[in-house]
Structure 1
Amino acid sequence: MTYRSTVDFFLYDWLAVEELTQRQRFADHSRDTFASVLDTCERIARDKFEPFNRLADTQEPHFDGEKVILPQASHDAAKAYVESGMLAAAQDYDIGGMQLPCVVEMAANTFFSKASIGLGGGGMLTAGNANLLMAHGTEAQKEVFAKNEFAGRFFGTMCLSEPQAGSSLSDILTRATPDGDDFESDPLGPRYRLRGNKMWISNGEHELTENIVHLVLAKIPGPDGNLIPGTKGISLFVVPKKLVDIDGKLTGERNDVALAGLNHKLGYRGIPNTLLNFGEGKYPARGKAGAIGYLVGKPGDGLKCMFHMMNEARIGVGLGAVMLGYAGYEASLEYAKGRPQGRPIGVGGKDAKQPQVPIIQHADVKRMLLAQKSYCEGALALELYCSRLVDELHTGDVDKRAEAGLLLEMLTPIAKSWPSEWCLEANSLAIQIHGGYGYTRDYPVEQYWRDNRLNMIHEGTHGIQGLDLLGRKVVMDGGKGLALLAAKVNATIERAVQTPEWAEPANAVAGALKHLGNATKAAWATGVPEEALANAVPYLQAFGHTVLAWIWLDVALCAQASKADENLRQGTLAAARYFFRYELPRVPAWLKVVETRDDTCRTMNDDWF
């Protein structure tokens, strides 16, 4: 059984993506064209990414005083990715796209993440950057920046955090002032000069492409010259590394964007992570200091625009976490099948004359492999389901679009956070299966863990996702989103209770869902945010496990009725059973502190530490 067979099962058996070809946008496609895209990505990932995964980890990007130097493998992988057309895979034909469904695009990109997440130049960021400009940019910004990103001439970044602010975007200090009296007449959009510093910028400096397009959050000073406190004054600007003309051609002049330093990370080492200075005067643009940036959208709409990209990025981060977990699962499965150690428990089990058996025959090793399988395949199903919702959002009828949008609002915090936590746990179990060898660089599993550890932090930490879910998503519009999600879960439960084998798990999911609803009400019973949100992360974990249990129940019903390969079917059903018996029982413990509004953490005195 291969990863590809699992992807095909989710796409065709469970999500029925062939039905999308009946819609006008995807009418030129078929299962054959989808398969061709998957085949191409699988081949490129195997040839240009996987062999160089360790190289990207050991030969970190370095700055020679003028340029950030990356190994040749990074350039080759980026070139191959661009030539595959995947940067514009879901875009219209008339801008060089393939008009692929989002769910197929996401599935195809998993091969690259699994092969080497630190190679290829950050396609997710570039595509997300360009998508944002297509949604909120001027016509000129779309032509000059977005379309050149889709073509692979330019790569893109997102510049939010600052050294003193971190995730607290209301505290950013980067400022943008009008560039001259004619600032509103620039053909690329209202022109400003930016001054400030941005931290943790992936792919902020490199030589992989002709140009880098930075999307930068900054504040436009008020009439008194001071920055407006909070988030209302935040605007969004497109700031190219190199200045361009209205035709997208480089003018030969560098913008005032300078590399201040590279961050040396635990994992994800193949991607340059940077501190950038905007407007320090190192590269005076058009004769004076200040990075030239063009306003995207309206003044003050920076966060509204940026979250168009952030939501896409969060699904992408979740999918990247899934594939790192999956890579570790595959490695530990192969090791367990080939590593002889110990003998079976039972009669003759201690007879040293008996041959040793592969460790996969030991029940505890099977437990660890099943845990990985249930985490990674369950999370993969969740991410593909969310991607399928994106297709409904863009091409469904009016009612389906509204429903898909609301479900995505509810599920995005889970799509980002759950794989980041539990596929990281899968990587830890992969190390455990390897024993002492797992702790060495002789095997890849320690790198997968290091790479995956970042995902609980970037694009919104676990704490932020928990606050977003319990503080905003489940209570918005009087709980309308939570009610819709509950209706979807209950529909699966109603189907499952008709099947004797899945009636008990279905009732367990129903119990978890009811408990979740009660805990949500109890958390907000006093109406005091400090009390409700003190245990937002345990709530996030319980919510995530309940969602994954629903996903597994739905997948199991599909697998049981499917005519797919028997090993795939039985493996899928076993992973589902594992999740219901070993994972779902965690939910009540997490919800206990939520529904009682436990104050242990909230009232801890700083001095007591």
Structure 2
Amino acid sequence: MSLRPTLDFLLNDWLAVEGLNQRERFADHSRETFDAVLDTCERIAREKYAPFNRLVDTQEPHFDGEKVILPQATHDANRAYAESGMLSAAQDYEIGGMQLPYSVEAAANTFFAMASVSIGSGLLTVGNANLLMKHGNELQKKVFALNEFSGRWSGTMCLSEPQAGSSLSDVATRAVPDGSGSESDPLGARFRLKGNKMWISSGEHELTENIIHLVLAKIPDENGKLVPGTRGISLFIVPKKMVGTDGGLTGERNDVALAGLNHKCGWRGTTNTLLNFGEGKYPVGGEAGAVGYLVGQPGKGLACMFHMMNEARIGVGLAATMLGMAGYHASLDYAKNRPQGRPMGPAGKDPAQPQTRIIEHADVKRMLLAQKSYAEGALALELYCARLVDEHHTAEAAAADDARLLLEVLTPIAKSWPSEWCLEANSLAIQVHGGYGYTRDFPVEQYWRDNRLNMIHEGTHGIQGMDLLGRKVLMEEGKGLKLLADRMNATIQRAMQVPELAEHANALAHSLAQVGAATKAAWATGIPGDALANAVPYLQAFGHMVLAWIWLDVSLTAQAAADSPARTGRLACMRFFFLYELPKIGAWLNVVSSRDQTCAALPEEAF
């Protein structure tokens, strides 16, 4: 079973991305060039990634005392991805990019995530370089970002610390000016960093010549004390190996040391590290302290880092989506070929009759349809968000600002919803396989293990819920939420004109009203503790409403198409979601609207 027909339908029939070539930035492109990119990525994923997904899961990274060892297959895949030009796909021609729409880039990257998310495809490297293109000085862009886009170097983001976790206000890594005249270094004001960072994906390896760490740290005040909270956080470029202003390696290693590898439930092919900055293992110029170059203004580091974090959140959502899709494809294939049981009714009572394939059983169909509705719905959502990125960057001013605001509201959903429900799809894929699904003889257990991370990294469900209810639906006096409601209402009005869709349009309108009322009720007292006590149920309800809207909008396009099995499947997914999933939001919103304190108020001793 191929992913390609689904991508083609969503990109071309639903989102009409070919029309982007009417814009100056994409004028050189056409359906043919977009298809050629997808063809290339599909081939590389099939040849360099998919055959080695189990290998990189079983041959985990290990440290030999000097360097981290990864399988040769990971080196080969990393090289093939870099040579494809995908690291700089969306960048300007002048710096070696393809000026591709982000929606096409995101679609192309689905092949790699589905083939082996654990091998990786440069998500953090691209996000790192994009941040520097936005916030770095000209030499930082030239020396660091361009070498990352070329694949010569790779990048990380270093936020969490062992004692702080997701609480960035408690970051304790220190950055002090590196001597006289360091503020005028052409690569940026030069500091020495000391501290520890945890959970750093791809923090140490030999896949590239250098690793460029983007590190959050605090600059002490005149009394040598760290400013409490997030307003004192600054952002620094800390290369693994020291570089010159010409981008050449100086031959000296920076004072960044691997303290340990984390051994994970999934994503085992990607190194995940604890890094020590400035412990003196690799003194630069005979002095302890990792050399770092300030990005942007002192104390504004978190605002800069959010540029990378938001990009990474969409990437995490896409990875979760494709793991769900991989499990769906695997369990569908299994269900078509596994004979077990006999049909209901008199004929099924005859043991002499041949067994039926399990796909003929109603409950197996339920589990397959649930997976299909979760994974394909999530893919549509991620590509819709990618299309908003293109609008934000290339549309006229008013439309571009609308796209920005819609992305603000949808980003917590784009990250969290696939992370939860495509994980559930992976669980259902195991269930379809029965006992075999729980063994390593089939890939679905690995898909579940790999996907379990996605509810955690780049902001847990709790963080995404508080971001949505505490910030996004309130920002700019609720303008983003109103824009989303306007788009949903436009879909509802169109669907009301189609007899087969009118009932579902009414259900979506009711859900939209429920979410709107719950949002007001949550904030009725104006006390954040009251509103945010049930931020995750709000996130879940909001996400289901958004996915119902996405499915209804997709179905308007599918409904107008010629009859085919694909059309039948898409319309069935929409009906399944409206009948089996959307009604769940009532229970979630009840505790939100009543500002229920059952969880928040329970004393510790009661546990």
Give the TM-score taking structure 1 as reference length.
Answer: 0.99
Q: Determine the structure 2 residue equivalent to 1:3.
A: 3
Deviations 1:51-78 (A, max 9, x none): 0000010000000000000000000000
Deviations 1:393-450 (A, max 9, x none): 0000011101000000000000000000000000000000000000000000000000
1:246-257 pair list within 5 angstroms: 246-257=245-256
Shift of 1:119: 0.8
Query: 1:234 touches 1:300 (CA, 8 Å); kept in 2?
Result: yes
For the residues of structure 2 that align with 1:26 and 1:138, how far apart are their CA atoms?
A: 26
For the residues of structure 2 that align with 1:3 and 1:119, how far apart are their CA atoms?
A: 19
For the residues of structure 2 that align with 1:567 and 1:91, how far apart are their CA atoms?
A: 38
Shift of 1:512: 0.4
For the residues of structure 2 that align with 1:318 and 1:71, how far apart are their CA atoms?
A: 27
Residue identity opposite 2:575 in structure 1: R
1:35-114 pair list within 5 angstroms: 35-114=35-114
For the residues of structure 2 that align with 1:286 and 1:223, how far apart are their CA atoms?
A: 25
Q: Determine the structure 2 residue equivalent to 1:568.
A: 566
State the secondary structure of the residue aligned to 1:214: strand
Q: Determine the structure 1 residue equivalent to 2:367.
A: 368
For the residues of structure 2 that align with 1:32 and 1:562, how far apart are their CA atoms?
A: 22
For the residues of structure 2 that align with 1:77 and 1:346, how far apart are their CA atoms?
A: 52
Deviations 1:134-164 (A, max 9, x none): 0000100000000000000000000000000
Q: Determine the structure 2 residue equivalent to 1:290.
A: 289
Query: 1:266 touches 1:450 (CA, 8 Å); kept in 2?
Result: yes
For the residues of structure 1 that align with 2:349 and 2:439, how far apart are their CA atoms?
A: 30
Query: 1:13 touches 1:562 (CA, 8 Å); kept in 2?
Result: no
State the secondary structure of the residue aligned to 1:192: strand
Q: Which runs of 5+ in 2 are unaligned?
A: none
Shift of 1:224: 1.0
| In the alignment, structure 1 residue 275 sits paired with structure 2 residue 274 | yes
For the residues of structure 1 that align with 2:606 and 2:445, how far apart are their CA atoms?
A: 35
Q: Determine the structure 1 residue equivalent to 2:603.
A: 605
Residue identity opposite 1:588 in structure 2: G
Structure 1 residue aligned with 2:579, among 576, 581, 597? 581
For the residues of structure 2 that align with 1:365 and 1:351, how far apart are their CA atoms?
A: 22
Query: 1:215 touches 1:236 (CA, 8 Å); kept in 2?
Result: yes
State the secondary structure of the residue aligned to 2:555: helix
Q: Determine the structure 1 residue equivalent to 2:303.
A: 304
| In the alignment, structure 1 residue 422 sits paired with structure 2 residue 421 | yes
1:8-27 pair list within 5 angstroms: 8-27=8-27
Shift of 1:223: 1.2
State the secondary structure of the residue aligned to 1:348: helix
Q: Determine the structure 1 residue equivalent to 2:482.
A: 483
Q: Determine the structure 2 residue equivalent to 1:117.
A: 117
Deviations 1:499-549 (A, max 9, x none): 110000000000000000000000011111111110000000000000000
State the secondary structure of the residue aligned to 1:275: strand
Q: Determine the structure 2 residue equivalent to 1:381.
A: 380
| In the alignment, structure 1 residue 315 sits paired with structure 2 residue 340 | no
State the secondary structure of the residue aligned to 1:458: coil
Q: Determine the structure 2 residue equivalent to 1:324.
A: 323
State the secondary structure of the residue aligned to 2:222: coil
For the residues of structure 2 that align with 1:75 and 1:44, how far apart are their CA atoms?
A: 13
Residue identity opposite 2:464 in structure 1: Q
Deviations 1:365-414 (A, max 9, x none): 00000000000000000000000000000000011101000000000000
Moved more, 456-465 or 524-533: 524-533
| In the alignment, structure 1 residue 447 sits paired with structure 2 residue 446 | yes
Query: 1:125 touches 1:157 (CA, 8 Å); kept in 2?
Result: yes
For the residues of structure 2 that align with 1:473 and 1:223, how far apart are their CA atoms?
A: 36
Q: Determine the structure 2 residue equivalent to 1:241.
A: 240
Deviations 1:451-484 (A, max 9, x none): 0000000000000000000011111122111111
For the residues of structure 2 that align with 1:72 and 1:204, how far apart are their CA atoms?
A: 18
State the secondary structure of the residue aligned to 2:208: coil
Structure 1 ranges of 4+ moved more than 2 A: none
1:495-510 pair list within 5 angstroms: 495-510=494-509
Residue identity opposite 2:28 in structure 1: D
1:585-596 pair list within 5 angstroms: 585-596=583-594
For the residues of structure 2 that align with 1:419 and 1:339, how far apart are their CA atoms?
A: 28
Q: Which runs of 5+ in 1 are unaligned?
A: none
Q: Determine the structure 2 residue equivalent to 1:205.
A: 204
Residue identity opposite 2:251 in structure 1: G
**Percent of aligned pairs sharing the same letter:** 75
Shift of 1:286: 1.7
Residue identity opposite 2:300 in structure 1: D
Deviations 1:170-216 (A, max 9, x none): 00100100000111111101000000000000000000000000000
For the residues of structure 2 that align with 1:432 and 1:299, how far apart are their CA atoms?
A: 52
For the residues of structure 1 that align with 2:350 and 2:601, how far apart are their CA atoms?
A: 57
Residue identity opposite 1:209 in structure 2: T
| In the alignment, structure 1 residue 536 sits paired with structure 2 residue 535 | yes
Deviations 1:70-100 (A, max 9, x none): 0000000000000111000000111111000
Query: Aligned Cα RMSD in Å?
Result: 0.7
Shift of 1:217: 0.2
For the residues of structure 2 that align with 1:473 and 1:152, how far apart are their CA atoms?
A: 35
Shift of 1:302: 0.4
For the residues of structure 1 that align with 2:11 and 2:334, how far apart are their CA atoms?
A: 29
State the secondary structure of the residue aligned to 2:497: coil
Give the TM-score taking structure 2 as reference length.
Answer: 0.99
Shift of 1:347: 2.1
Deviations 1:234-280 (A, max 9, x none): 00000000000001000000000000000000000000000000000
Shift of 1:2: 2.8
Residue identity opposite 2:193 in structure 1: L
Residue identity opposite 1:597 in structure 2: R
Deviations 1:106-156 (A, max 9, x none): 000000000000114x50000000000000001000000000000000000
Query: 1:256 touches 1:285 (CA, 8 Å); kept in 2?
Result: yes
| In the alignment, structure 1 residue 32 sits paired with structure 2 residue 32 | yes
State the secondary structure of the residue aligned to 2:235: strand
Shift of 1:562: 2.3
Query: 1:87 touches 1:150 (CA, 8 Å); kept in 2?
Result: yes
State the secondary structure of the residue aligned to 1:213: strand
For the residues of structure 2 that align with 1:589 and 1:557, how far apart are their CA atoms?
A: 28
State the secondary structure of the residue aligned to 1:206: coil
Q: Determine the structure 2 residue equivalent to 1:557.
A: 556
State the secondary structure of the residue aligned to 2:349: coil
Q: Determine the structure 1 residue equivalent to 2:179.
A: 180
For the residues of structure 2 that align with 1:562 and 1:15, how far apart are their CA atoms?
A: 14
For the residues of structure 2 that align with 1:2 and 1:574, how far apart are their CA atoms?
A: 19
Query: 1:546 touches 1:584 (CA, 8 Å); kept in 2?
Result: yes
